[in-house]
Amino acid sequence: MHFFSRGVASGVLGLAAPPMYASGLVVGGIILAPGALILSSMEQRMWERMVSALKAADFEQSLLRATKARANSELATAAQSTTADSINVELVVNAYGLASQSPDRLCFIASIDLIANRAGEHWLRERLIISTRERSPDAPPPQCASHEGMAQNEGQMVRNTAAIYAEVLAAMVIDRLRNRSKP
């Protein structure tokens, strides 16, 4: 007994399949669309937290304060013992902030130029970098973490890292000035 010939059966299946696909798409869409929207708004909030933490860190001022403090405490005695000319030091912040290392990971990077002139003449110029690809020989590895890790506790890792980088870069600047001063 034959209910359908081969062609008829496949024709029936062919008629049934598009509604099945369509219902699958509708159900999938109902699940995925709100999920994507929620994830997107969560990601946006994470970025907002990181950006506001970065703004609040006031990196340039922290770097200046740390450099002055270290210069006063670590270079003052050396300066008193010599009758050297005054040295004019400039720090140019080229870049600092969060760079993407991979789709799910961010790294805090910083790059500054140290320019020092003595008696109006060029005396020292060096770029100090904390980054994933290239970094100064005495620089620590950059702080990397997932988006969630960077954003948690209102961007605590971003704020901490900015403060640590300011101190580390200040220490690196003072080391270079001290080494350059050695006879």
Partner 1 sequence: MKTRMQCTAAFVLILLASCATEWRTDAPVKPTTYAASGPVSAGSVGRLPRLVVTKVTLHREAEEAEQATPEWQARNATIRNELRQEIVRYLVEQKGYEVRSIDEPPPGDEQAVRAAGIRLGVDGIVNVEHRLTKPWSTGQAISNIFLLNIPLLNALNAVNLRITIHETATGRTVWMKEMKGEMPDSPKSTPDVKGALGDLENALPAQLRR
Judged by the rule CB under 8 A, the positions of this chain that interact with partner 1 are: 34-35, 38-39, 42, 105, 138, 140-146, 148-149, 156-157, 160-161, 163-164, 166-168, 171-172, 175
Asked if 142 and 169 touch (Cβ cutoff 8 Å), the reply is no
Output the smallest distance, CB 109 to partner 1, in A: 13
Report how far residue 165's alpha carbon sits from residue 159's, in angstroms, rounded to the nearest whole number.
10
DSSP state of 109: E
| Spatial distance between the Cα atoms of 142 and 146, rounded to a whole number of angstroms | 13
In the complex, the smallest distance separating the C-beta of residue 7 from partner 1, rounded to whole angstroms, is 35
Contact (CB, 8 A) for 166 and 63: yes
Our CB check for partner 1 shows the closer of 14 and 159 to be 159
Question: Minimum Å distance from CB 148 to partner 1?
Answer: 7
Q: Are 139 and 129 in contact (CB under 8 A)?
A: yes
Question: Would you say 63 or 116 has its CB closer to partner 1?
Answer: 63
Shortest Å distance, C-beta 183 to partner 1: 24
48 vs 175 by CB, closer to partner 1: 175
Contact partners, residue 175, CB within 8 Å, separation at least 6? 138
